[in-house]
């Protein structure tokens, strides 16, 4: 530990503290502590400091010492906010590691790690909480003054508040008012996410008694609608005593008024509850389950493995029941009194897995989601830190929570690319970082997937991780059968209707006839991909990015998928005036439209970024599909992510070529993973499912490997390629984006910088090159890549890189050039 002093500082001792500010600063600053605050100083607490001319920031105490800084006079801190540290020492070490490994500042890590309420600064705006009643709470004099100053709807910055009240140290007051829910930070006002609540009806206890029920029937003889409501309730409540009011209305002729009357008479009780997708008998199955023999064997092997190695890979085919194994493991860790972090891809958080885990563990479980508002995030933070929450289920940023005693980290769907944060810094990979985090807490890591990332499998093969395989589905049903359809052949034989080969249409008809469900996968959203002029070849591009615009029928506009820019669609080519505009490529929206023409009357839903933009719509779409209100679900890769439906008989992949042709060294690995995962949504219960993949390149080896479910073959061929071209895991990559709005300046700067790097690092430096998309949000981009062989010390390379950047940025001509580093950029 850097802190060599005793905790109990003497009152007259001269203390200095090094703090982390929520800014991208290259160094940490040192402040002096006024004597009267000496006793309150502790690493991990927040203090208020002045930085720059007049700005105040909340910062975190990183270390305490007696040495004055050499080249500046330390300012005094203004106040200490916390009574106890909010960031534990282990997390501070973790921040430091992240900043070193991913080449960013500790301030940037702090910004990613802490909820906004912990990062108050002069410019933070506060507002009175709309629900706050003065009579609710006892307020101190200062608090009262602040509330008065805020009035009913004024937004005031913290700086203005402190001017108003004529005192510098306003932060403790703000913090206390936040705790009392008397004020809000104004950014929270656009309330981000609320669980969907629905009204449920339940019979009052008294009428569960048959005698009382008979009496009630008599009473209701003259109120036929109420009687109808009651009878329908009794029928519907066989599965679950809570019946959704909506269902009751749909299944009876009672109407709203009759139900209200029964509530008034205290026959029914109405309750607003979180909507559950599960039926009562499913719930039963989730709570009281036993592991199958194969699962039990995997579970035992994992436990044995953990005695030897900290990291274990659970390689279990789709629908093998990995979730059940996680649950049993979590139980054991909780029994040891330790905490568990359960990492899932962002998108999975709104789906079934949360429901299942929370059913099992109840209020020991906290869910941490970027869509939650700040109040909720603070609440979770505090409950993790007191140990009230034993399990945290969350997306990547939950690795920063203040765990007290972490025993196990589970990374579900460990191959998912959403564990990586691409922008802004810290550009970290939560799966990789969690392995370091586990070493700090001396805890275990379980990586789970049906299609492991090449790196993880490589590490398992080389003995760095342990590995346990689970090769059968829980239901015992074999994995789905695949059929590949050559689009080239089908078009030649004129066996296509719109985007569908005749075989796929026939199969769909058969499945629909049997009242089973279908998922169609197309990895592009929108209507057409691009609009191209058939006369001069013009395509319309985004004004800020080097990207073609996508036509969306729902808005009637052309959209940029990178920056959100949109414009009206074109009737004529702006370059040559021709009306001969052609549509090239196609997205989910277009497929939906064509499918409606082929199968009129069926119910179709779409699961993609566009259809799930509004609150809770994703929940609704998945819910409807699960309850068989939808026949066909069309989606982008969202449909591949861990969803568990029981009636899906057929998966159709509309066009596999776009996946495999993606210009990236991981394209084949990703295609294999995505196609296997999508396929895995079929036939998860009693009946074997079927998968039809349409592709022009129908003989592609990846398709063959998907069909044969041959991960091993994919792995061996990919690994050989990676070795031949020196890609990870045989090398480490660092990618450096050089950016400017001035294209000519950028070009010179990037060349200059690359030469400078080559001078120090030689031929591990590649580029500069134009990336696939060479302009985003008006910034031109050139890319330099470092490919560092495993034998070379990556730390030395990083050090040299940082020195080169310093040197480069000290040159006047290049001041305005932005440099962005991404370590392990995949």
Ligand X SMILES: Nc1ncnc2c1ncn2[C@@H]1O[C@H](COP(=O)(O)OP(=O)(O)OP(=O)(O)O)[C@@H](O)[C@H]1O
Q: Which residues are annotated as a binding site?
A: 533, 536, 542, 545, 560, 563, 573, 576
453 binds, among ligand X, Zn ion, none (CB under 5 to 8 A by kind): none
Taking CB under 6 A as the rule, does residue 285 contact ligand X? yes
289 binds, among ligand X, Zn ion, none (CB under 5 to 8 A by kind): ligand X
- For residues 56 and 450, which CB has a smaller minimum distance to ligand X in the complex? 450
542 binds, among Zn ion, ligand X, none (CB under 5 to 8 A by kind): Zn ion
Instruction: Kindly give the residue spans of alpha helices, DSSP state H, lying in 396-483.
Output: 430-441, 454-461
CB of 350 to ligand X, least distance (A): 15
C-alpha span between 485 and 699 (Å, rounded): 10
Q: Hey, which residues between 504 and 543 contact Zn ion (CB under 5 A)?
A: 542
CB of 693 to ligand X, least distance (A): 18
C-alpha span between 10 and 15 (Å, rounded): 10
Contact 702, 668 (CB under 8 A): yes
C-alpha span between 505 and 654 (Å, rounded): 11
Q: Hey, which residues between 656 and 685 contact ligand X (CB under 6 A)?
A: 680, 684
- Return the range that interacts with ligand X (CB under 6 A); candidates 149-157, 320-328, 583-591, 606-614: 320-328
Tell me the binding residues for Zn(2+): 533, 536, 542, 545, 560, 563, 573, 576
Taking CB under 6 A as the rule, does residue 296 contact ligand X? no
Residue 507 sits at φ, ψ, to 5 deg, of -65, -40
> Strand 500-501 to strand 604-607: parallel, antiparallel, or no bridges (unpaired)?
unpaired
Taking CB under 6 A as the rule, does residue 99 contact ligand X? no
Taking CB under 6 A as the rule, does residue 587 contact ligand X? no
Q: Write the interaction track for Zn ion spanning residues 559-578; mark x where CB under 5 A is met and - where it is not.
A: -x-xx-x-------------
Among residues 78, 90, 63, 96, which one has the least CA distance to residue 33? 78
Contact 448, 326 (CB under 8 A): yes
Supply the angle between the helices 322-335 and 293-308 in degrees, to the nearest 10: 50
CB of 685 to ligand X, least distance (A): 8
97 binds, among ligand X, Zn ion, none (CB under 5 to 8 A by kind): none
Taking CB under 6 A as the rule, does residue 718 contact ligand X? no
C-alpha span between 326 and 295 (Å, rounded): 11
Taking CB under 5 A as the rule, does residue 74 contact Zn ion? no
Taking CB under 6 A as the rule, does residue 291 contact ligand X? yes
Q: Write the interaction track for ligand X spanning residues 457-476; mark x where CB under 6 A is met and - where it is not.
A: -----------------x--
Q: Hey, which residues between 414 and 453 contact ligand X (CB under 6 A)?
A: 450
C-alpha span between 45 and 118 (Å, rounded): 11
Q: Of 105, 324, 459, 694, which lies in the binding site for ligand X, with binding defined by CB under 6 A? A: 324
CB of 565 to Zn ion, least distance (A): 4
Q: Of 38, 59, 318, 385, which lies in the binding site for ligand X, with binding defined by CB under 6 A? A: 318
Alpha-carbon torsion (342, 347, 349, 353), positive or negative? negative
Contact 519, 632 (CB under 8 A): yes
Taking CB under 6 A as the rule, does residue 319 contact ligand X? yes
- For residues 91 and 676, which CB has a smaller minimum distance to ligand X in the complex? 676
Helix (H, G, I), strand (E, B) or coil at 392: strand
Supply the angle between the helices 106-113 and 89-101 in degrees, to the nearest 10: 120
Taking CB under 5 A as the rule, does residue 289 contact Zn ion? no
Helix (H, G, I), strand (E, B) or coil at 411: strand
450 binds, among ligand X, Zn ion, none (CB under 5 to 8 A by kind): ligand X
- Give the burial class of 283: count Cβ atoms within 10 A of its Cβ; 0-12 exposed, 13-18 middle, 19 or more buried: middle
Taking CB under 6 A as the rule, does residue 321 contact ligand X? yes
Q: DSSP labels for 214-264?
A: HHHHHHGGG-HHHHHHHHHHHHHTTT-S-EEHHHHHHHSS-HHHHHHHHHH
Chain residues binding ligand X by CB under 6 A are 285, 289-292, 295, 316, 318-324, 450, 474, 642, 644, 680, 684
Chain residues binding Zn ion by CB under 5 A are 542, 544-545, 560, 562-563, 565
């Amino acid at each position: 530990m850097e802190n060599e002093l005793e905790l109990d500082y003497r009152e007259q001792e001269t203390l200095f503290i090094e703090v982390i500010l929520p800014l991208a600063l290259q160094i940490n600053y040192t402040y002096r502590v006024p004597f009267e605050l000496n006793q309150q100083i502790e690493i991990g607490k927040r203090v208020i400091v002045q930085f720059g001319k007049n700005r105040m920031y909340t910062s975190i105490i990183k270390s305490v010492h007696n040495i004055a800084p050499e080249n500046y006079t330390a300012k005094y801190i203004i106040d200490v906010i916390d009574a106890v540290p909010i960031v534990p020492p282990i997390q501070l070490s973790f921040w430091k590691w992240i900043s070193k490994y991913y080449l960013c500042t500790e301030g940037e890590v702090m910004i990613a790690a802490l909820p906004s309420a912990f990062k108050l600064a002069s410019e933070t705006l506060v507002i009175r909480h709309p629900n706050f009643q003065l009579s609710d709470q006892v307020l101190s004099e200062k608090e009262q003054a602040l509330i008065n100053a805020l009035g009913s709807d004024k937004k005031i910055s913290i700086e203005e508040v402190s001017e108003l009240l004529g005192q510098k140290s306003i932060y403790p007051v703000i913090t206390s008012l936040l705790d009392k829910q008397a004020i809000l930070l104004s950014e929270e006002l656009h309330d981000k996410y609320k669980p969907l609540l629905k009204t449920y009806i339940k019979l009052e206890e008294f009428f569960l008694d048959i005698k009382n029920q008979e009496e009630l029937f008599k009473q209701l003889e003259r109120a036929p609608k109420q009687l109808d409501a009651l009878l329908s309730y009794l029928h519907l409540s066989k599965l679950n005593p809570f019946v959704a009011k909506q269902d009751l209305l749909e299944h009876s002729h009672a109407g709203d008024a009759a139900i209200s009357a029964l509530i008034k008479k205290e026959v029914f009780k109405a309750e607003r509850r979180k909507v559950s997708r599960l039926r009562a008998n499913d719930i039963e199955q989730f709570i009281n389950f036993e592991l199958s023999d194969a699962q039990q064997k995997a579970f035992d092997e994992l436990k044995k493995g953990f005695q030897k190695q900290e990291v274990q890979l659970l390689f279990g085919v789709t629908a093998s029941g990995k979730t059940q194994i996680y649950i049993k493991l979590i139980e054991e860790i909780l029994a040891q009194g330790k905490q568990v972090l359960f990492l899932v891809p962002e998108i999975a958080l709104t789906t079934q897995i949360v429901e299942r885990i929370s059913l099992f563990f109840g209020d020991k479980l906290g869910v941490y989601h970027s869509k939650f508002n700040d109040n909720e995030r603070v609440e979770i933070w505090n409950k993790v830190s007191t140990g009230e929450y034993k399990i945290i289920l969350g997306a990547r940023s939950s690795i920063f929570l203040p765990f007290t005693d972490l025993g196990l980290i589970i990374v579900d769907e460990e191959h998912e690319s959403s564990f990586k944060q691409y922008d802004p810094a810290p550009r970290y990979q939560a799966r990789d970082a969690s392995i370091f985090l586990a070493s700090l807490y001396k805890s275990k890591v379980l990586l789970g997937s049906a299609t492991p990332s090449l790196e993880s499998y490589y590490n398992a093969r080389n003995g760095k991780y342990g590995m346990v395989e689970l090769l059968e589905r829980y239901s015992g049903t074999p994995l789905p059968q695949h059929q590949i359809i050559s689009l080239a052949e089908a078009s030649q034989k004129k066996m296509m209707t719109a985007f569908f080969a005749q075989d796929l249409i026939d199969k769909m008809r058969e499945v629909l006839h049997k009242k089973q469900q279908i998922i169609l996968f197309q990895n592009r959203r929108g209507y057409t991909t691009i609009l191209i002029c058939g006369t001069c070849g013009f395509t319309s591009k985004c004004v800020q990015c080097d990207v073609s615009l996508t036509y969306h029928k729902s808005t009637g506009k052309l959209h940029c998928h990178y920056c959100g820019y949109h414009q009206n669609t074109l009737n004529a080519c702006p370059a040559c005036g021709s009306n001969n505009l052609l549509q090239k490529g196609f997205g989910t929206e277009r497929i939906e439209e064509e499918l409606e023409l082929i199968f009129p009357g069926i119910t179709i839903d779409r699961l993609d970024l566009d259809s799930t933009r509004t609150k809770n719509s994703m929940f609704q779409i998945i819910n409807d599909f699960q309850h068989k209100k939808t026949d066909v679900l069309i989606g982008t890769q969202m449909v591949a992510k861990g969803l568990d439906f029981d009636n899906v008989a057929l998966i159709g992949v509309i066009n596999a070529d776009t996946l495999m042709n993606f210009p990236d060294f991981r394209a084949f690995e990703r295609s294999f993973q995505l196609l296997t995962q999508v396929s895995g949504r079929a036939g998860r219960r009693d009946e074997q499912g079927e998968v039809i993949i349409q592709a022009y390149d129908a003989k592609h080896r990846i398709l063959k490997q998907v069909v044969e479910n041959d991960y091993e073959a994919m792995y061996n061929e990919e690994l050989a390629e990676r070795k031949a071209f020196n890609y990870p895991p045989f090398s480490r990559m660092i990618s450096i984006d050089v950016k400017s709005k001035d294209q000519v300046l950028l070009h010179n700067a990037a060349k200059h910088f690359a030469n400078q790097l080559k001078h120090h690092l030689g031929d591990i430096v590649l580029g500069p090159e134009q990336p696939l998309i060479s302009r985003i949000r008006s910034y031109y981009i050139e890319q330099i890549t470092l490919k560092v062989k495993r034998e070379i010390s990556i730390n030395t390379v990083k050090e040299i890189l940082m020195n080169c950047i310093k040197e480069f940025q000290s040159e006047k001509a290049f001041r305005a050039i932005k440099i962005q580093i991404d370590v392990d950029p995949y």
